[in-house]
A = this chain, B = another copy of it.
Amino acid sequence: MLRIFKTCFVAALLCFVGVANASKIDLETIAEWWNIPYPESFDTSQLKTQGFIHVKGNQFVDASGKHFVFRGMNIASPDKLLKQGQWKKSLFAELKDWGVNTIRLPVHPIGWRSSGKYNYIELIDEAVVWANELGIYLILDWHSIGYLPNGLFQHPMYKTNVQETMEFWQFVAARYKGVPTIAVYEIFNEPTDMGGKAGTADWLEWKAFNEQVIDVIYAHDKQVIPLVAGFNWAYDLTSVIEHPIEREGIAYVSHPYPQKAKPKPRTKDAVYASWTEKWGHVSAKYPIIATELGWVEEGGFGAHIPVIDDGSYGPWIIEYMEARNISWTAWCFDPEWSPTMIHDWDFKPTEQGKFFKKVLQAY
């Protein structure tokens, strides 16, 4: 009996490690908790010189004070790419070749938890090193959808809570202070009440929560740009002018997918008017990054509301943003996440892929 017990004990420990493929996940959960080391900061000495990007008025500026516009792509979550054998520097190099100066890293709460933060951080470390070598900036995105103060979300992969979200930013800010490569911390991907299915959303409550997170970030690191999203799946910034986030150095997000604006008839001018009303007007006062945008044709791979479009959207949105110095990262440089830029891991571009590649390479 004792022998079974002992074997079982060892087996359980091995299994535990095995299930999560996690050499460090056990740090906080088993054995001698009093010997858990304090987390260490990222060693910036391994990085090449890369200027910090800051907010100045309604623009971003680089270290020399010159206007800067983030232009780039989303990739899938690092832990997904790792599990699928696609987490490698060559992915970042391919994006460099497409012309990006920015890559957005979406971190899903479910992935953060299941990988274990000590494992996940190793992936973000690698992203920093790769991006830094290529002269690319990163946007780190806590990729949840729902209304966090109510604890209700759109899908299990987005489930988190206030404490986990605060801890995430506390942990990340402590680790990456002084790292210019991660230029932007996107606090919460897409806040939404889901038409009431996530309860009632309140801007003042949301604003106060974001300010709390920003305070925790700034207590660790003042050289990073916190990014705040509005409601309606991060589309709507109409509350911002009257009730702005009362912190310096921050920027706002919008996700202007094609079907969010619904003017009839759907002329370019009408769509522009709609964008300006809902989020574009904010760019006159604050910097904006459209961290998600993109389209797929009806019936195309993964077509779903609100991303379906006949292709006129591409030139419209680029022209609209560029006229206003609005930064952007298109969605998504992954063959499985729609609307996708690539058909496969040979990086064969899709319709929108061809378009955004051309746009990016022109800079």
Contacts and interface: CB of A to CB of B under 8 A. Distances in A.
Interface of A: 4-6, 8-9, 11-16, 18-19, 27-30, 32-34, 36, 38, 76-77, 80, 83, 108, 110-111, 114, 150-152, 155-157, 159, 161-163, 166-167, 170, 174, 194-200, 212, 215-216, 218-220, 336-337
Given A77-B34, A155-B38, A163-B161, A8 B15 contact: yes
Q: When A and B form their complex, which 8 residue pairs have the shortest distance between CB atoms, in order from nearest? A: A196-B219, A12-B15, A151-B163, A9-B18, A28-B156, A8-B15, A33-B110, A197-B219
B199 A114 contact: no
Q: How many copies does the complex hold?
A: 3
A11 to B, nearest CB: 5
Nearest to A37: B155
Given A163-B161, A167-B151, A33 B108 contact: yes
A156 B36 contact: yes
A40 B255 CA distance: 27
Contact of A5 (B14, B28, B220): B14
29 contacts: A5-B18, A8-B15, A9-B18, A15-B15, A19-B30, A28-B156, A28-B159, A32-B80, A33-B108, A33-B110, A33-B111, A34-B77, A34-B108, A36-B155, A152-B163, A152-B167, A152-B170, A161-B163, A170-B197, A170-B198, A174-B197, A196-B215, A196-B216, A196-B218, A197-B216, A197-B219, A197-B220, A199-B216, A200-B215
Contacts of A34: 76-77, 80, 108, 157, 336-337
Given A15-B11, A151-B163, A36 B199 contact: no
Given A5-B18, A12-B15, A218-B196, A30 B151 contact: no
Contacts of A159: 28
A157 B36 contact: yes
Contacts of A163: 151-152, 161
